[in-house]
Structure 1
Amino acid sequence: MTRQKVFLVAACAVALLLLLSEGGQCYAKSESISPDLKEASLLVRRRHPDRALPLLNAIILREPKNLPALLAKAKACTALGKYDEAMAVLGTVLRMEPRNIAATVSRSNLNYLTGCYTQATADANLAIQINPRDGHAHVALARVLLRALKSKEAQGECAKALEVEPKKSDLWRETAVIQKSLRKGHLTTGALLNAIKLAPGDTTNYDELASFYIEKKMYDKAIEPTQKALQIDPEDGFALLNRARLFLAKRKLQEALSVAEAAERNIAYSGYPNSLKGEIYQRMMEDETAVAEYSKAISK
Protein backbone atom coordinates (compact mmCIF):
# COMPACT_ATOMS: atom_id res chain seq x y z
CA MET A 1 0.00 0.00 0.00
CA THR A 2 1.54 3.33 -1.04
CA ARG A 3 0.69 6.87 -0.12
CA GLN A 4 0.46 7.69 -3.81
CA LYS A 5 -2.25 5.08 -4.28
CA VAL A 6 -4.19 6.31 -1.28
CA PHE A 7 -4.09 9.91 -2.41
CA LEU A 8 -5.18 8.86 -5.89
CA VAL A 9 -8.21 7.17 -4.36
CA ALA A 10 -8.90 10.28 -2.30
CA ALA A 11 -8.54 12.62 -5.26
CA CYS A 12 -10.96 10.48 -7.26
CA ALA A 13 -13.45 10.67 -4.39
CA VAL A 14 -13.27 14.45 -4.35
CA ALA A 15 -13.57 14.65 -8.13
CA LEU A 16 -16.58 12.37 -7.95
CA LEU A 17 -18.36 14.58 -5.46
CA LEU A 18 -17.70 17.66 -7.56
CA LEU A 19 -19.01 15.77 -10.57
CA LEU A 20 -22.20 14.88 -8.77
CA SER A 21 -23.10 18.44 -7.83
CA GLU A 22 -24.20 19.17 -11.38
CA GLY A 23 -26.78 21.78 -10.62
CA GLY A 24 -30.53 21.80 -10.90
CA GLN A 25 -31.25 19.93 -14.09
CA CYS A 26 -32.13 16.77 -12.20
CA TYR A 27 -34.65 18.36 -9.90
CA ALA A 28 -38.13 19.71 -10.35
CA LYS A 29 -38.76 23.39 -9.80
CA SER A 30 -38.75 24.15 -6.09
CA GLU A 31 -42.39 25.23 -5.96
CA SER A 32 -43.56 21.88 -7.38
CA ILE A 33 -41.85 19.47 -5.00
CA SER A 34 -42.63 18.29 -1.50
CA PRO A 35 -40.72 19.55 1.54
CA ASP A 36 -38.99 16.19 2.06
CA LEU A 37 -37.80 16.14 -1.55
CA LYS A 38 -36.55 19.71 -1.19
CA GLU A 39 -34.59 18.64 1.87
CA ALA A 40 -33.18 15.54 0.18
CA SER A 41 -32.22 17.48 -2.95
CA LEU A 42 -30.43 20.07 -0.83
CA LEU A 43 -28.54 17.33 1.00
CA VAL A 44 -27.41 15.84 -2.31
CA ARG A 45 -26.26 19.21 -3.59
CA ARG A 46 -24.43 19.88 -0.32
CA ARG A 47 -22.73 16.50 -0.64
CA HIS A 48 -24.46 14.66 2.19
CA PRO A 49 -25.70 11.68 0.14
CA ASP A 50 -25.71 9.37 3.14
CA ARG A 51 -28.29 11.58 4.83
CA ALA A 52 -30.28 12.13 1.64
CA LEU A 53 -30.68 8.49 0.65
CA PRO A 54 -33.13 7.40 3.41
CA LEU A 55 -35.36 10.38 2.60
CA LEU A 56 -35.27 9.58 -1.10
CA ASN A 57 -36.05 5.91 -0.50
CA ALA A 58 -39.10 6.90 1.54
CA ILE A 59 -40.30 9.27 -1.18
CA ILE A 60 -39.85 6.65 -3.91
CA LEU A 61 -41.66 4.04 -1.82
CA ARG A 62 -44.56 6.48 -1.65
CA GLU A 63 -44.25 7.68 -5.25
CA PRO A 64 -42.41 5.10 -7.39
CA LYS A 65 -42.54 7.30 -10.51
CA ASN A 66 -41.25 10.49 -8.90
CA LEU A 67 -38.59 11.45 -11.45
CA PRO A 68 -36.80 14.15 -9.40
CA ALA A 69 -36.52 11.73 -6.47
CA LEU A 70 -35.24 8.93 -8.70
CA LEU A 71 -32.64 11.18 -10.31
CA ALA A 72 -31.51 12.49 -6.94
CA LYS A 73 -31.26 8.92 -5.66
CA ALA A 74 -29.06 7.98 -8.61
CA LYS A 75 -26.68 10.80 -7.69
CA ALA A 76 -26.69 9.87 -4.01
CA CYS A 77 -25.98 6.22 -4.80
CA THR A 78 -23.15 7.19 -7.14
CA ALA A 79 -21.56 9.39 -4.48
CA LEU A 80 -21.78 6.51 -2.00
CA GLY A 81 -20.15 4.09 -4.44
CA LYS A 82 -23.39 2.16 -4.99
CA TYR A 83 -22.82 2.11 -8.73
CA ASP A 84 -25.02 -0.86 -9.60
CA GLU A 85 -27.93 0.62 -7.69
CA ALA A 86 -27.41 4.00 -9.34
CA MET A 87 -27.39 2.40 -12.79
CA ALA A 88 -30.57 0.50 -11.97
CA VAL A 89 -32.31 3.71 -10.92
CA LEU A 90 -31.23 5.47 -14.10
CA GLY A 91 -32.53 2.49 -16.07
CA THR A 92 -35.91 2.94 -14.39
CA VAL A 93 -35.99 6.61 -15.35
CA LEU A 94 -35.00 5.93 -18.96
CA ARG A 95 -37.65 3.25 -19.32
CA MET A 96 -40.18 5.85 -18.22
CA GLU A 97 -38.68 8.62 -20.36
CA PRO A 98 -36.19 7.29 -22.95
CA ARG A 99 -35.10 10.81 -23.90
CA ASN A 100 -34.68 12.14 -20.37
CA ILE A 101 -31.54 14.20 -20.77
CA ALA A 102 -30.68 14.43 -17.07
CA ALA A 103 -30.69 10.63 -16.78
CA THR A 104 -28.71 10.26 -20.01
CA VAL A 105 -26.03 12.69 -18.82
CA SER A 106 -25.91 11.01 -15.40
CA ARG A 107 -25.54 7.61 -17.07
CA SER A 108 -22.67 8.98 -19.17
CA ASN A 109 -20.96 10.26 -16.02
CA LEU A 110 -21.53 6.97 -14.21
CA ASN A 111 -20.17 4.96 -17.13
CA TYR A 112 -17.13 7.25 -17.12
CA LEU A 113 -16.54 6.66 -13.42
CA THR A 114 -16.81 2.89 -13.81
CA GLY A 115 -14.44 2.77 -16.78
CA CYS A 116 -17.06 2.12 -19.47
CA TYR A 117 -15.68 4.86 -21.70
CA THR A 118 -17.27 3.75 -24.97
CA GLN A 119 -20.73 3.80 -23.41
CA ALA A 120 -19.95 7.08 -21.64
CA THR A 121 -19.11 8.64 -25.00
CA ALA A 122 -22.24 7.23 -26.60
CA ASP A 123 -24.44 8.58 -23.81
CA ALA A 124 -22.82 12.02 -23.94
CA ASN A 125 -23.34 12.18 -27.70
CA LEU A 126 -26.94 11.00 -27.30
CA ALA A 127 -27.58 13.73 -24.73
CA ILE A 128 -26.20 16.35 -27.12
CA GLN A 129 -28.41 14.93 -29.86
CA ILE A 130 -31.45 15.19 -27.60
CA ASN A 131 -30.62 18.78 -26.67
CA PRO A 132 -27.56 20.48 -28.17
CA ARG A 133 -28.06 23.36 -25.75
CA ASP A 134 -27.62 21.29 -22.60
CA GLY A 135 -24.31 22.36 -21.09
CA HIS A 136 -23.91 19.28 -18.90
CA ALA A 137 -24.03 17.05 -21.97
CA HIS A 138 -21.10 18.94 -23.48
CA VAL A 139 -19.13 18.69 -20.22
CA ALA A 140 -19.82 14.94 -20.08
CA LEU A 141 -18.37 14.61 -23.57
CA ALA A 142 -15.42 16.83 -22.61
CA ARG A 143 -14.50 14.41 -19.81
CA VAL A 144 -14.27 11.39 -22.08
CA LEU A 145 -12.39 13.40 -24.70
CA LEU A 146 -9.90 14.50 -22.07
CA ARG A 147 -9.45 10.91 -20.95
CA ALA A 148 -8.72 10.02 -24.59
CA LEU A 149 -6.01 12.72 -24.59
CA LYS A 150 -8.00 14.87 -27.01
CA SER A 151 -7.39 18.06 -25.06
CA LYS A 152 -8.25 20.47 -27.86
CA GLU A 153 -11.60 18.79 -28.48
CA ALA A 154 -12.29 18.66 -24.72
CA GLN A 155 -11.68 22.39 -24.43
CA GLY A 156 -14.01 22.92 -27.37
CA GLU A 157 -16.81 21.07 -25.60
CA CYS A 158 -16.20 23.11 -22.44
CA ALA A 159 -16.49 26.28 -24.50
CA LYS A 160 -19.76 25.03 -25.99
CA ALA A 161 -21.14 24.25 -22.53
CA LEU A 162 -20.46 27.79 -21.35
CA GLU A 163 -21.73 29.28 -24.59
CA VAL A 164 -25.13 27.59 -24.38
CA GLU A 165 -25.60 28.00 -20.60
CA PRO A 166 -23.33 30.80 -19.39
CA LYS A 167 -25.32 31.47 -16.22
CA LYS A 168 -24.94 28.02 -14.65
CA SER A 169 -22.34 28.16 -11.92
CA ASP A 170 -21.86 24.42 -11.79
CA LEU A 171 -20.83 24.38 -15.45
CA TRP A 172 -18.13 26.94 -14.73
CA ARG A 173 -16.94 24.78 -11.84
CA GLU A 174 -16.96 21.57 -13.87
CA THR A 175 -15.04 23.18 -16.71
CA ALA A 176 -12.57 24.46 -14.09
CA VAL A 177 -11.92 20.87 -13.02
CA ILE A 178 -11.15 19.98 -16.63
CA GLN A 179 -8.91 23.04 -17.05
CA LYS A 180 -7.06 22.01 -13.90
CA SER A 181 -6.44 18.59 -15.43
CA LEU A 182 -4.99 20.40 -18.44
CA ARG A 183 -2.76 22.42 -16.07
CA LYS A 184 -4.25 25.71 -17.16
CA GLY A 185 -4.18 27.47 -13.81
CA HIS A 186 -5.38 30.91 -14.91
CA LEU A 187 -8.40 29.38 -16.67
CA THR A 188 -9.11 27.24 -13.60
CA THR A 189 -9.20 30.15 -11.17
CA GLY A 190 -11.10 32.35 -13.62
CA ALA A 191 -13.80 29.73 -14.07
CA LEU A 192 -14.11 29.15 -10.32
CA LEU A 193 -14.38 32.86 -9.60
CA ASN A 194 -17.16 33.06 -12.19
CA ALA A 195 -18.88 30.13 -10.50
CA ILE A 196 -18.71 31.93 -7.15
CA LYS A 197 -20.06 35.12 -8.68
CA LEU A 198 -23.03 33.26 -10.14
CA ALA A 199 -23.77 31.21 -7.02
CA PRO A 200 -22.24 32.85 -3.94
CA GLY A 201 -24.11 30.45 -1.65
CA ASP A 202 -22.73 27.24 -3.17
CA THR A 203 -19.97 25.94 -0.93
CA THR A 204 -18.66 23.55 -3.58
CA ASN A 205 -17.27 26.46 -5.57
CA TYR A 206 -15.33 27.81 -2.60
CA ASP A 207 -14.09 24.34 -1.70
CA GLU A 208 -12.74 23.72 -5.18
CA LEU A 209 -11.04 27.13 -5.30
CA ALA A 210 -9.43 26.60 -1.89
CA SER A 211 -8.32 23.11 -2.85
CA PHE A 212 -6.73 24.42 -6.04
CA TYR A 213 -4.80 27.07 -4.11
CA ILE A 214 -3.64 24.48 -1.57
CA GLU A 215 -2.42 22.16 -4.32
CA LYS A 216 -0.42 25.09 -5.72
CA LYS A 217 0.90 25.86 -2.20
CA MET A 218 -0.79 29.26 -2.31
CA TYR A 219 -1.94 28.82 1.26
CA ASP A 220 -2.74 32.45 2.04
CA LYS A 221 -5.16 32.61 -0.90
CA ALA A 222 -6.88 29.41 0.27
CA ILE A 223 -7.87 30.84 3.65
CA GLU A 224 -10.67 33.14 2.48
CA PRO A 225 -12.64 30.61 0.36
CA THR A 226 -12.26 28.02 3.11
CA GLN A 227 -13.66 30.41 5.71
CA LYS A 228 -16.48 31.48 3.40
CA ALA A 229 -17.57 27.89 2.79
CA LEU A 230 -17.70 27.20 6.53
CA GLN A 231 -19.68 30.38 7.15
CA ILE A 232 -22.28 29.13 4.70
CA ASP A 233 -22.27 25.52 5.92
CA PRO A 234 -20.36 24.69 9.12
CA GLU A 235 -20.90 21.00 8.32
CA ASP A 236 -19.16 21.22 4.94
CA GLY A 237 -16.76 18.33 5.30
CA PHE A 238 -14.68 19.37 2.31
CA ALA A 239 -14.16 22.87 3.68
CA LEU A 240 -13.10 21.26 6.95
CA LEU A 241 -10.63 19.12 5.02
CA ASN A 242 -9.20 22.22 3.39
CA ARG A 243 -8.84 23.82 6.81
CA ALA A 244 -7.05 20.71 8.06
CA ARG A 245 -4.73 20.83 5.05
CA LEU A 246 -3.92 24.45 5.85
CA PHE A 247 -3.03 23.51 9.43
CA LEU A 248 -0.90 20.67 8.09
CA ALA A 249 0.93 23.07 5.78
CA LYS A 250 1.81 25.14 8.85
CA ARG A 251 2.91 21.97 10.68
CA LYS A 252 0.18 22.38 13.28
CA LEU A 253 -0.38 18.65 13.43
CA GLN A 254 -2.74 18.41 16.39
CA GLU A 255 -5.00 21.12 15.01
CA ALA A 256 -4.94 19.45 11.60
CA LEU A 257 -5.91 16.11 13.12
CA SER A 258 -8.76 17.60 15.12
CA VAL A 259 -10.27 19.30 12.07
CA ALA A 260 -9.77 16.20 9.90
CA GLU A 261 -11.70 14.19 12.48
CA ALA A 262 -14.52 16.74 12.32
CA ALA A 263 -14.51 16.36 8.54
CA GLU A 264 -14.73 12.59 8.88
CA ARG A 265 -17.80 12.90 11.08
CA ASN A 266 -19.54 14.97 8.41
CA ILE A 267 -18.51 12.94 5.34
CA ALA A 268 -18.00 9.50 6.84
CA TYR A 269 -18.78 7.88 3.49
CA SER A 270 -15.64 9.37 1.91
CA GLY A 271 -12.14 7.97 2.25
CA TYR A 272 -10.54 11.38 1.90
CA PRO A 273 -10.57 12.29 5.63
CA ASN A 274 -8.89 8.98 6.45
CA SER A 275 -6.28 9.57 3.78
CA LEU A 276 -5.49 12.97 5.23
CA LYS A 277 -5.42 11.56 8.76
CA GLY A 278 -2.98 8.94 7.53
CA GLU A 279 -0.61 11.65 6.34
CA ILE A 280 -0.96 13.55 9.60
CA TYR A 281 -0.18 10.44 11.67
CA GLN A 282 2.86 9.78 9.48
CA ARG A 283 4.09 13.28 10.25
CA MET A 284 3.54 12.45 13.92
CA MET A 285 5.71 9.32 13.44
CA GLU A 286 2.75 7.09 14.35
CA ASP A 287 3.17 4.71 11.43
CA GLU A 288 0.83 1.93 12.55
CA THR A 289 -2.03 4.36 13.03
CA ALA A 290 -1.21 5.95 9.69
CA VAL A 291 -1.41 2.58 7.93
CA ALA A 292 -4.77 1.89 9.58
CA GLU A 293 -6.14 5.20 8.30
CA TYR A 294 -4.82 4.57 4.79
CA SER A 295 -6.50 1.16 4.85
CA LYS A 296 -9.80 2.77 5.80
CA ALA A 297 -9.42 5.24 2.94
CA ILE A 298 -8.91 2.45 0.42
CA SER A 299 -11.84 0.42 1.74
CA LYS A 300 -14.36 3.24 1.35
Structure 2
Amino acid sequence: MGLGVAAMLALAGCQTADTSEAVIKLDRAQGSEENIASLSSVIAANPQDPEGYNVRGSAYGRAGEFRRAIADFNQAIQLNPRFYQAYANRALVNRNLGNQKEALADYNSALQINGNYDVAYIGRGNLYRQVGQLDSAFNDFNKAISLDTTDPRAYHNRGLIYQARNQHAQAIEDFSKAISLSPSSPEPYNGRGISYLAQNDDDNAFSDFNTAINLNGNLAESWANQALVYERRGEREKAKRSYSQALRLDPKYEPARAGLARVKGPAA
Protein backbone atom coordinates (compact mmCIF):
# COMPACT_ATOMS: atom_id res chain seq x y z
CA MET A 1 0.00 0.00 0.00
CA GLY A 2 3.01 2.31 -0.11
CA LEU A 3 1.93 3.74 -3.45
CA GLY A 4 -1.37 4.85 -1.96
CA VAL A 5 0.34 6.74 0.84
CA ALA A 6 2.73 8.37 -1.62
CA ALA A 7 -0.22 9.51 -3.70
CA MET A 8 -1.93 10.96 -0.67
CA LEU A 9 1.23 12.73 0.44
CA ALA A 10 1.50 14.33 -2.99
CA LEU A 11 -2.14 15.27 -2.66
CA ALA A 12 -1.65 16.88 0.72
CA GLY A 13 1.02 19.14 -0.72
CA CYS A 14 -1.36 20.71 -3.23
CA GLN A 15 -4.96 20.06 -2.35
CA THR A 16 -5.08 22.11 0.82
CA ALA A 17 -3.18 25.03 -0.59
CA ASP A 18 -6.22 27.12 -1.39
CA THR A 19 -8.56 25.94 1.29
CA SER A 20 -6.09 26.84 4.00
CA GLU A 21 -5.61 30.46 3.19
CA ALA A 22 -5.65 32.17 0.20
CA VAL A 23 -8.35 32.45 -2.28
CA ILE A 24 -11.04 34.71 -0.89
CA LYS A 25 -13.95 32.64 0.30
CA LEU A 26 -17.21 34.04 -0.95
CA ASP A 27 -19.31 35.27 1.95
CA ARG A 28 -22.92 36.08 1.15
CA ALA A 29 -23.43 38.11 4.29
CA GLN A 30 -20.33 40.29 4.12
CA GLY A 31 -20.50 40.49 0.34
CA SER A 32 -24.23 41.10 0.14
CA GLU A 33 -25.70 44.01 -1.78
CA GLU A 34 -27.18 45.34 1.46
CA ASN A 35 -23.84 45.33 3.25
CA ILE A 36 -22.04 46.93 0.32
CA ALA A 37 -24.76 49.58 0.04
CA SER A 38 -24.34 50.34 3.73
CA LEU A 39 -20.58 50.66 3.33
CA SER A 40 -21.07 52.91 0.32
CA SER A 41 -23.20 55.19 2.47
CA VAL A 42 -20.40 55.36 5.03
CA ILE A 43 -17.93 56.27 2.28
CA ALA A 44 -20.25 58.95 0.89
CA ALA A 45 -20.39 60.53 4.33
CA ASN A 46 -16.60 60.24 4.84
CA PRO A 47 -14.97 60.19 1.39
CA GLN A 48 -11.49 60.97 2.73
CA ASP A 49 -11.43 58.07 5.21
CA PRO A 50 -9.32 55.24 3.71
CA GLU A 51 -10.73 52.68 6.16
CA GLY A 52 -14.14 52.80 4.48
CA TYR A 53 -12.66 51.89 1.11
CA ASN A 54 -10.60 49.12 2.68
CA VAL A 55 -13.63 47.56 4.33
CA ARG A 56 -15.79 47.85 1.22
CA GLY A 57 -12.96 46.43 -0.88
CA SER A 58 -12.91 43.38 1.38
CA ALA A 59 -16.68 43.05 0.97
CA TYR A 60 -16.37 43.26 -2.80
CA GLY A 61 -13.67 40.58 -2.64
CA ARG A 62 -15.93 38.26 -0.68
CA ALA A 63 -18.67 38.87 -3.24
CA GLY A 64 -16.28 37.89 -6.03
CA GLU A 65 -16.24 41.41 -7.49
CA PHE A 66 -12.47 41.54 -7.64
CA ARG A 67 -12.09 44.52 -9.98
CA ARG A 68 -14.19 46.70 -7.72
CA ALA A 69 -12.23 45.42 -4.74
CA ILE A 70 -8.96 46.44 -6.38
CA ALA A 71 -10.37 49.91 -7.13
CA ASP A 72 -11.32 50.40 -3.47
CA PHE A 73 -7.95 49.24 -2.18
CA ASN A 74 -6.26 51.56 -4.68
CA GLN A 75 -8.30 54.44 -3.31
CA ALA A 76 -7.50 53.51 0.29
CA ILE A 77 -3.78 53.41 -0.51
CA GLN A 78 -3.97 56.70 -2.40
CA LEU A 79 -5.52 58.32 0.66
CA ASN A 80 -3.02 56.67 3.02
CA PRO A 81 0.13 55.31 1.31
CA ARG A 82 1.16 53.61 4.57
CA PHE A 83 -2.08 51.62 4.93
CA TYR A 84 -0.36 48.23 5.14
CA GLN A 85 -3.60 46.29 5.67
CA ALA A 86 -4.93 47.60 2.35
CA TYR A 87 -1.75 46.45 0.59
CA ALA A 88 -2.17 42.94 2.04
CA ASN A 89 -5.86 42.88 1.11
CA ARG A 90 -5.07 43.99 -2.43
CA ALA A 91 -2.41 41.28 -2.60
CA LEU A 92 -4.99 38.63 -1.76
CA VAL A 93 -7.33 39.85 -4.49
CA ASN A 94 -4.43 39.94 -6.95
CA ARG A 95 -3.78 36.29 -6.10
CA ASN A 96 -7.37 35.49 -6.97
CA LEU A 97 -6.90 37.26 -10.29
CA GLY A 98 -3.69 35.35 -10.99
CA ASN A 99 -1.56 38.47 -10.70
CA GLN A 100 1.24 36.85 -8.74
CA LYS A 101 3.88 39.54 -9.32
CA GLU A 102 1.50 42.27 -8.22
CA ALA A 103 0.51 40.22 -5.17
CA LEU A 104 4.14 39.72 -4.16
CA ALA A 105 4.85 43.43 -4.57
CA ASP A 106 1.87 44.29 -2.36
CA TYR A 107 2.89 41.85 0.38
CA ASN A 108 6.40 43.30 0.26
CA SER A 109 5.00 46.82 0.55
CA ALA A 110 2.88 45.86 3.54
CA LEU A 111 5.90 44.35 5.28
CA GLN A 112 8.12 47.31 4.49
CA ILE A 113 5.61 49.50 6.31
CA ASN A 114 4.98 47.06 9.17
CA GLY A 115 7.58 44.35 9.56
CA ASN A 116 5.50 42.67 12.29
CA TYR A 117 2.33 42.14 10.26
CA ASP A 118 1.73 38.40 10.55
CA VAL A 119 -1.09 38.38 7.98
CA ALA A 120 1.29 39.57 5.26
CA TYR A 121 3.92 36.95 6.15
CA ILE A 122 1.28 34.22 5.97
CA GLY A 123 -0.09 35.53 2.68
CA ARG A 124 3.35 35.89 1.12
CA GLY A 125 4.30 32.46 2.44
CA ASN A 126 1.31 30.93 0.71
CA LEU A 127 2.23 32.75 -2.47
CA TYR A 128 5.76 31.35 -2.28
CA ARG A 129 4.43 27.86 -1.54
CA GLN A 130 2.07 28.06 -4.48
CA VAL A 131 4.99 28.64 -6.87
CA GLY A 132 7.18 25.99 -5.25
CA GLN A 133 9.55 28.25 -3.32
CA LEU A 134 9.24 26.16 -0.17
CA ASP A 135 12.26 27.56 1.67
CA SER A 136 11.00 31.14 1.31
CA ALA A 137 7.50 30.03 2.31
CA PHE A 138 8.85 28.19 5.34
CA ASN A 139 10.75 31.28 6.46
CA ASP A 140 7.64 33.43 6.21
CA PHE A 141 5.52 31.00 8.21
CA ASN A 142 8.27 30.78 10.81
CA LYS A 143 8.33 34.57 11.05
CA ALA A 144 4.58 34.76 11.55
CA ILE A 145 4.78 32.10 14.25
CA SER A 146 7.66 33.91 15.95
CA LEU A 147 5.35 36.94 16.15
CA ASP A 148 2.96 34.82 18.25
CA THR A 149 0.32 34.72 15.53
CA THR A 150 -2.98 33.12 16.46
CA ASP A 151 -3.77 32.51 12.79
CA PRO A 152 -4.02 28.74 12.21
CA ARG A 153 -2.92 29.10 8.60
CA ALA A 154 0.68 29.71 9.64
CA TYR A 155 0.87 26.37 11.44
CA HIS A 156 -1.20 24.48 8.88
CA ASN A 157 0.89 25.61 5.94
CA ARG A 158 4.19 25.11 7.73
CA GLY A 159 2.90 21.63 8.52
CA LEU A 160 2.38 21.01 4.82
CA ILE A 161 6.00 21.94 4.15
CA TYR A 162 7.24 19.66 6.93
CA GLN A 163 5.08 16.96 5.37
CA ALA A 164 6.57 17.54 1.91
CA ARG A 165 10.00 17.15 3.53
CA ASN A 166 8.94 13.86 5.18
CA GLN A 167 9.30 15.43 8.64
CA HIS A 168 6.05 13.97 9.85
CA ALA A 169 6.50 14.37 13.60
CA GLN A 170 6.93 18.12 13.13
CA ALA A 171 4.05 18.21 10.66
CA ILE A 172 1.73 16.48 13.16
CA GLU A 173 2.72 19.00 15.82
CA ASP A 174 1.90 21.92 13.52
CA PHE A 175 -1.40 20.45 12.34
CA SER A 176 -2.35 19.84 15.97
CA LYS A 177 -1.65 23.49 16.77
CA ALA A 178 -3.75 24.59 13.81
CA ILE A 179 -6.58 22.37 15.06
CA SER A 180 -6.36 23.91 18.53
CA LEU A 181 -6.71 27.36 16.98
CA SER A 182 -9.50 26.40 14.56
CA PRO A 183 -11.13 23.13 15.67
CA SER A 184 -13.99 23.41 13.17
CA SER A 185 -11.75 23.41 10.08
CA PRO A 186 -11.42 20.03 8.36
CA GLU A 187 -8.20 20.79 6.47
CA PRO A 188 -5.69 20.33 9.32
CA TYR A 189 -7.37 17.06 10.27
CA ASN A 190 -6.78 15.81 6.74
CA GLY A 191 -3.20 17.05 6.85
CA ARG A 192 -2.47 15.43 10.19
CA GLY A 193 -4.12 12.21 9.09
CA ILE A 194 -1.83 11.98 6.07
CA SER A 195 1.22 12.29 8.31
CA TYR A 196 -0.18 9.68 10.67
CA LEU A 197 -0.54 7.36 7.66
CA ALA A 198 3.07 8.00 6.72
CA GLN A 199 3.97 6.83 10.24
CA ASN A 200 1.76 3.74 9.78
CA ASP A 201 -0.57 5.00 12.51
CA ASP A 202 -3.74 4.07 10.67
CA ASP A 203 -6.03 4.33 13.70
CA ASN A 204 -5.24 7.98 14.41
CA ALA A 205 -5.32 8.74 10.69
CA PHE A 206 -8.77 7.17 10.36
CA SER A 207 -10.04 9.15 13.33
CA ASP A 208 -8.78 12.40 11.77
CA PHE A 209 -10.30 11.67 8.36
CA ASN A 210 -13.65 10.81 9.96
CA THR A 211 -13.55 14.05 11.93
CA ALA A 212 -12.86 15.97 8.71
CA ILE A 213 -15.91 14.34 7.10
CA ASN A 214 -18.08 15.14 10.10
CA LEU A 215 -17.00 18.78 9.96
CA ASN A 216 -17.60 19.07 6.21
CA GLY A 217 -18.90 16.14 4.21
CA ASN A 218 -18.45 17.92 0.89
CA LEU A 219 -14.66 17.63 0.56
CA ALA A 220 -13.55 14.94 -1.86
CA GLU A 221 -10.15 14.83 -0.16
CA SER A 222 -11.62 13.65 3.13
CA TRP A 223 -13.55 10.77 1.56
CA ALA A 224 -10.55 9.68 -0.50
CA ASN A 225 -8.39 9.75 2.63
CA GLN A 226 -10.93 7.64 4.52
CA ALA A 227 -11.07 5.24 1.59
CA LEU A 228 -7.31 4.80 1.66
CA VAL A 229 -7.47 3.57 5.25
CA TYR A 230 -10.21 1.12 4.32
CA GLU A 231 -8.05 -0.01 1.40
CA ARG A 232 -5.03 -0.53 3.66
CA ARG A 233 -7.22 -2.59 5.98
CA GLY A 234 -8.40 -4.75 3.10
CA GLU A 235 -12.01 -3.50 3.40
CA ARG A 236 -12.45 -3.14 -0.32
CA GLU A 237 -16.20 -2.57 -0.45
CA LYS A 238 -16.03 0.24 2.08
CA ALA A 239 -13.08 1.69 0.19
CA LYS A 240 -15.09 1.57 -3.04
CA ARG A 241 -17.96 3.46 -1.45
CA SER A 242 -15.73 6.18 -0.05
CA TYR A 243 -13.72 6.59 -3.24
CA SER A 244 -16.98 6.74 -5.19
CA GLN A 245 -18.31 9.43 -2.87
CA ALA A 246 -15.13 11.44 -3.41
CA LEU A 247 -15.64 11.20 -7.17
CA ARG A 248 -19.27 12.24 -6.88
CA LEU A 249 -18.09 15.38 -5.12
CA ASP A 250 -15.23 15.99 -7.56
CA PRO A 251 -15.23 13.84 -10.73
CA LYS A 252 -11.75 15.12 -11.63
CA TYR A 253 -10.16 14.14 -8.31
CA GLU A 254 -7.27 11.95 -9.46
CA PRO A 255 -6.37 10.25 -6.12
CA ALA A 256 -9.96 9.03 -5.80
CA ARG A 257 -10.05 7.84 -9.41
CA ALA A 258 -6.79 5.95 -9.01
CA GLY A 259 -7.87 4.51 -5.67
CA LEU A 260 -11.18 3.30 -7.04
CA ALA A 261 -9.36 1.62 -9.93
CA ARG A 262 -7.12 -0.20 -7.45
CA VAL A 263 -9.91 -1.55 -5.26
CA LYS A 264 -12.01 -2.54 -8.28
CA GLY A 265 -9.10 -4.59 -9.59
CA PRO A 266 -8.43 -8.25 -8.78
CA ALA A 267 -8.09 -8.96 -5.07
CA ALA A 268 -4.48 -9.35 -3.93
Give the TM-score range, shorter chain. 0.5 to 0.7
Q: What is the match of residue 105 of structure 2?
A: 122
SS at 1:97 equivalent: helix
Q: 1:228-253: CA deviations, max 9, x gaps?
A: 22333444443222211211222323
Task: Return 5+ residue gaps in structure 2 as ranges.
Answer: 41-55, 78-85
CA distance, structure 1, for counterparts of residue 118 and residue 164 of structure 2: 19
Mapped partners of 2:92, 2:36: distance in 1: 21
Return closer, same or farther for 1:249/1:126 CA change in 2, 3 Å cut-off.
farther
Rg larger for: 2
Deviation at 1:73, TM superposition (A): 4.2
If the length of structure 2 is used for normalisation, what is the TM-score?
0.67
- Which residue pairs with 1:163 in the alignment? 146
Report whether the alignment pairs 1:16 with 2:17: yes
Q: Which runs of 4+ in 1 moved over 6 A?
A: 6-9
Residue matched to 2:90: 104
- How many residue pairs align between the two structures? 233
Alignment of 1:173-184 (within 5 A): 173-184=156-167
Structure 1 CA distance for aligned equivalents of residues 193 and 12 of structure 2: 14
- Once the two structures are superposed, residues 14-42 of structure 1 have per-residue CA deviations (whole angstroms, 9 ceiling, x without a partner) of 133334468xxx79xxxxx9xx517xxxx
Alpha-carbon distance between aligned partners in 1 of 2:172 and 2:16, rounded to the nearest angstrom: 16
Q: Does residue 1:243 correspond to 2:226, yes or no?
A: yes
1:271 alignment partner in structure 2: 252
Cα distance, 1:68–1:264 mapped onto 2, change above 3 Å: farther
Q: Contact 2:223 / 2:243 at 8 angstroms: preserved in 1? A: yes
Counterpart code for 1:285: G
**Residues 165-194 of structure 1, C-alpha deviation per residue, up to 9 Å, x if partnerless?**
522222211221233234332321111111
CA–CA distance in structure 1, aligned partners of residues 59 and 10 of structure 2: 29
Aligned twin of 2:53: none
Inter-CA distance 275–192: structure 2 relative to 1 (3 Å threshold): closer
- Root-mean-square deviation (Å): 3.9
Cα deviation, residue 163, structure 1: 2.6
Q: Give the Cα–Cα distance (whole angstroms) in 2 for the partners of residues 178 and 11 of structure 1.
A: 10
Superposed counterparts of 1:1-300, under 5 Å: 14-20=15-21, 36-37=28-29, 59-60=32-33, 63=36, 66-74=56-64, 89-98=65-74, 99=77, 100-107=86-93, 109-110=95-96, 118-143=101-126, 151=135, 153-265=136-248, 267-268=249-250, 271-272=252-253, 274-285=254-265
Residues 109 and 140 in structure 1, CA contact (< 8 A), matched pair in contact too? no
SS in 2 for 1:37: coil
In 2, the alpha carbon distance for the partners of 1:205 and 1:236 equals 13
| TM-aligned CA deviation for residue 134 of structure 1 | 3.0
| Cα distance change of structure 1 residues 173 and 11 upon mapping to structure 2, 3 Å threshold | closer
What code does the residue aligned with 1:277 have?
R
Q: Distance in 2 between matches of 1:108 and 1:94?
A: 8
C-alpha change, 1:11 and 1:168, in structure 2 (3 Å) is closer
Greater Cα offset, 177-186 or 238-247: 177-186
The 1-side partners of 2:34 and 2:244 are apart by 35
2:149 match: secondary structure: coil
| One-letter code aligned to 1:90 | F
TM-score between the two structures when normalised by the length of structure 1: 0.61
Quick one: which amino acid aligns to residue 14 of structure 1?
Q
Deviation digits for residues 233-286 of structure 1, max 9, x if unmatched?
444443222211211222323211211222344x43x732x5413332244239
Match of 1:297 in 2: none
Deviation track 1:183-232 (CA, whole Å, cap 9, x = no partner) reads 33232111111111122222222122113323454322202212222333
Q: Taking structure 1 as reference, are residues 164 and 13 closer, same or farther at Cα in structure 2, changes over 3 Å only? A: same
Identical aligned residues as a percent = 14
Please report how far the alpha carbon of residue 128 of structure 1 lies from its aligned counterpart in structure 2 after TM superposition. Answer: 2.1
CA distance in 1, matches of 2:96, 2:10: 17
How many angstroms apart in 1 are the aligned matches of 2:169 and 2:9?
24
**Structure 1 stretches of 5 or more lacking a match?**
28-32, 39-55, 75-88, 287-300
Asked if the contact 1:240–1:262 (Cα under 8 Å) also holds between the matched residues in 2, the reply is yes
Q: CA deviation at 1:62?
A: 8.4
